[in-house]
Structure 1
Amino acid sequence: MKYDFIVVGHGLAGAILSYTLRKRGHRVLVIDEPRASGASRVAAGLLNPIAGKRFAKSWLADDFIPAADAFYDELEVHFGRELFIHKPIYKIFSTIEEQNNWMAKSASEGWNDFILATHTKSISNPSIQDPYGGVMIGRGGNLLVEDMLDLLTEELLARELLLPERFEMNKLELTTNGVRYKEVEAGHLVFCEGFQVVNNPYFKWLPIQPTKGEVLEVQAENFNPECIYNKAVYVVPVGGGRFKIGATYNWRQPDEQPSPEGQQELSERFSQITSQHFSMINHQAGIRPAVRDRKPLAGRHPQYPQLSVFNGMGSKGVQMAPHLAQQFAAALAGEGDVMPDIRISRYLSLYYDYIKHQNYQP
């Protein structure tokens, strides 16, 4: 069987890229081993235009968010299902200094599209602990990632475009016209493996840091579900009085096992947002593919141009992947290139060091 592309991995990045390639008319085969604990399936799918304690606008938010809105709207029409939940995000000030910093920053231009209101004192909701107030952020929300992945998986299976199995690297053969994998041929192969790229002999030189993230799902009947909350952790309503709380960042123990320490940290953080009683329903962990400079990775292998990587979205995949997948799909078709900030060529020195010291033989 002959395909234009093989995409290895069907987490958030792989699913969005493979769908984008198919929409462009390419014949795509996806290879992915189903895993309930994958980072994409654990995540709450948060899209937040304002990032961090410094209240900075997220990187390229003006480009990423319109593309994300359009992509998820299209998917909802395609499947006839709601997949992206638009909700304001209440970013709570931790200190008066944070409030002052925000007031100074918000005077600059470029925020009007994202800020609904600034509260310099508590919003007087008895379930929220916000003595210094906070910022109500618009154009945010959360993607139902697991639902989206399930729908796309079912579609691929129905069209016989998915091999639900573990990719076996020793079965990959590079040819003059592309690649061969077992009985399948393709003009190009894209690895979208998440943190597993650290074991990929073609791309393990890239500076991916596997980073464990833990998420709690709790029941809190008297907690307001009308918005998402953010104060050191996010709190995302998922319906029926349930909320997802996350996420931790742990690069020292990159395993997928929930830990007592993670549970305690998330519970304590949630208790700083609300005084309401809550009970734990579920506790999950996944591993994100974090990059040294916090920018994604996309591009062809420097020696084997029939191989590419699309990876490193970290915790911002819901926001970034639709726009970057459009760019990368066009680049793979010979229509320009991806933005310089995400090209893997920025790490070519690491590749040359790798082949020099490791007797590079994939």
Structure 2
Amino acid sequence: MKYDFIVVGHGIAGAILSYTLRKRGQRVLVVDEPRPSAASRVAAGLLNPVAGKRFAKSWLADEFIPAADAFYDELEERFGQELFVHKPIYKIFSSVEEQNTWMAKSAGTNWNDYILATHTQSTGQPGIEDPHGGIMIGRGGYLQVAEMLDLLAEELLAQQLMLPERFEMEQLQLTRNGVRYKGEEAKHLVFCEGFQVVNNPYFRWLPIQPTKGEVLEVQTENFTPECIYNKAVYVVPVGGGRFKIGATYNWRQPDEEPSPAGQEELSERFSQITSQPFHVIHHWAGIRPAVRDRRPLAGTHPQYPQLSVFNGMGSKGVLMAPYLARQFAAALVGEGEVMPDVQISRYLSLYYDYIKEQNQQP
């Protein structure tokens, strides 16, 4: 058997899983069609320990963040290049009511590892619209996703461990000992194909909701790049007076075409953060693989043990993928288990409904 694993997809999930498997001594072949509009490449790569308007600590942040720090530090040492940029996140209160919500929330929770400061009035930063203050969040930052993916892909190509092409499902054969794809054989295949899993005949029963997200890159002056800003949208400094602004969430039009409405929405929300003029340099759109219960999907097919899936991280891949890839890689080689919250077995009833429906078709 030439390969232990074939991994389909080289976005954040597929890249981190395939690297983790290789670190375990597994021989891995990656199949991926390079696409500039892939969600992983469009995203700003934000890692935020505090989620949403309710000021909740991100799910399993205490486990995910140390694993992410260690993983990206390892890649930086491996390639001699900065990939993860550590920056505080200034979450701006949108109202007095939101400020009060935070003050009540923070009184009953241990936030010492994540909250650097609470401001109940404007910080006075030039160009920043924060009349109600906000909180400064530590242990956040952003991953330079495209750079990481390119470095890992170059390494795979140099070792002839990557097929830079679209995966052709009709070329996949399931064998007694594993899988065969275009003459290449492996013991196991893992699908990490993002939202395109909705077209996968083996895993389309999973409750993936393709969600369009649009991102702008703008140029502006007199706007400090010392931190990331968050108020309905994130504003991530990328150097030279340029900032990435995102992202929209659109379940109704899951296409990869930037829209005038998306640009208008992001521009309006950025204008609520800064009084400085700006102009749009780039406008991208991508599709995230969101899951009904907002938990990732990892596990082996209930009928075909040579097939697995690692998917559904939505906008949290930078935060969650290193920890979950380590768990899943261990499970795939028979040396551990994936936490129940992400196992696809939680949706087995959907699989049985899907099989029943298929059997009833003429």
Provide the C-alpha distance between the structure 2 equivalents of 1:239 and 1:121, rounded to a whole number of angstroms. Answer: 28
Per-residue CA distance 1:289-346 (angstroms, 9 max, x = gap)? 0000000000000000100000000000000000000000000011121000000000
Provide the C-alpha distance between the structure 1 equivalents of 2:359 and 2:241, rounded to a whole number of angstroms. Answer: 56
Provide the C-alpha distance between the structure 1 equivalents of 2:184 and 2:12, rounded to a whole number of angstroms. Answer: 24
Q: C-alpha displacement at 1:182, in angstroms?
A: 1.2
Amino acid at match of 2:233: V
Which residue pairs with 2:262 in the alignment? 262
Contact kept, 8 Å, 1:288 with 1:314, in 2: the verdict is yes
- Aligned-residue sequence identity (percent) comes to 83
Per-residue CA distance 1:68-101 (angstroms, 9 max, x = gap)? 0000000000000000000000000001011111
3-state DSSP class of the match of 1:314? coil
Provide the C-alpha distance between the structure 2 equivalents of 1:311 and 1:178, rounded to a whole number of angstroms. Answer: 21
In the alignment, structure 2 segments of 5+ residues that lack a partner are: none
3-state DSSP class of the match of 1:315? coil
Superposed counterparts of 1:3-152, under 5 Å: 3-152=3-152
Which residue pairs with 2:223 in the alignment? 223
3-state DSSP class of the match of 1:117? strand
Provide the C-alpha distance between the structure 2 equivalents of 1:86 and 1:110, rounded to a whole number of angstroms. Answer: 22
Provide the C-alpha distance between the structure 2 equivalents of 1:129 and 1:168, rounded to a whole number of angstroms. Answer: 50
Superposed counterparts of 1:195-214, under 5 Å: 195-214=195-214
Contact kept, 8 Å, 2:126 with 2:223, in 1: the verdict is no
Q: C-alpha displacement at 1:110, in angstroms?
A: 2.4
3-state DSSP class of the match of 1:256? coil
Provide the C-alpha distance between the structure 2 equivalents of 1:11 and 1:206, rounded to a whole number of angstroms. Answer: 19
Which residue pairs with 1:323 in the alignment? 323
3-state DSSP class of the match of 1:286? strand
Provide the C-alpha distance between the structure 2 equivalents of 1:111 and 1:80, rounded to a whole number of angstroms. Answer: 33
Contact kept, 8 Å, 1:210 with 1:251, in 2: the verdict is yes
Amino acid at match of 1:288: R
Provide the C-alpha distance between the structure 2 equivalents of 1:153 and 1:6, rounded to a whole number of angstroms. Answer: 14
Q: C-alpha displacement at 1:358, in angstroms?
A: 1.5
Report the aligned-residue RMSD. Answer: 1.0
Q: Per the alignment, do residues 360 and 59 of structure 1 end up closer, same or farther by CA in structure 2, a change over 3 Å counting?
A: farther
3-state DSSP class of the match of 1:355? helix
| TM-score (normalizing by structure 2) | 0.99
3-state DSSP class of the match of 2:218? strand
1:168 aligned onto 2:137? no
Structure 1 moving runs of 4+ over 6 Å? none
Provide the C-alpha distance between the structure 2 equivalents of 1:218 and 1:182, rounded to a whole number of angstroms. Answer: 44
Provide the C-alpha distance between the structure 2 equivalents of 1:24 and 1:142, rounded to a whole number of angstroms. Answer: 27
Which residue pairs with 1:291 in the alignment? 291
3-state DSSP class of the match of 1:215? strand
Provide the C-alpha distance between the structure 1 equivalents of 2:3 and 2:188, rounded to a whole number of angstroms. Answer: 8
Provide the C-alpha distance between the structure 2 equivalents of 1:43 and 1:145, rounded to a whole number of angstroms. Answer: 8
3-state DSSP class of the match of 1:358? helix
Which residue pairs with 1:275 in the alignment? 275
Provide the C-alpha distance between the structure 2 equivalents of 1:195 and 1:244, rounded to a whole number of angstroms. Answer: 23
Provide the C-alpha distance between the structure 1 equivalents of 2:324 and 2:77, rounded to a whole number of angstroms. Answer: 21
Q: How many residues align?
A: 361
Q: C-alpha displacement at 1:360, in angstroms?
A: 9.0
Q: C-alpha displacement at 1:359, in angstroms?
A: 2.6
Q: C-alpha displacement at 1:126, in angstroms?
A: 2.3
Contact kept, 8 Å, 2:215 with 2:284, in 1: the verdict is yes
Which residue pairs with 1:300 in the alignment? 300
Which residue pairs with 2:182 in the alignment? 182
Which residue pairs with 1:353 in the alignment? 353
Contact kept, 8 Å, 2:6 with 2:31, in 1: the verdict is yes
Provide the C-alpha distance between the structure 1 equivalents of 2:173 and 2:62, rounded to a whole number of angstroms. Answer: 41
3-state DSSP class of the match of 2:248? coil
Contact kept, 8 Å, 2:214 with 2:258, in 1: the verdict is yes
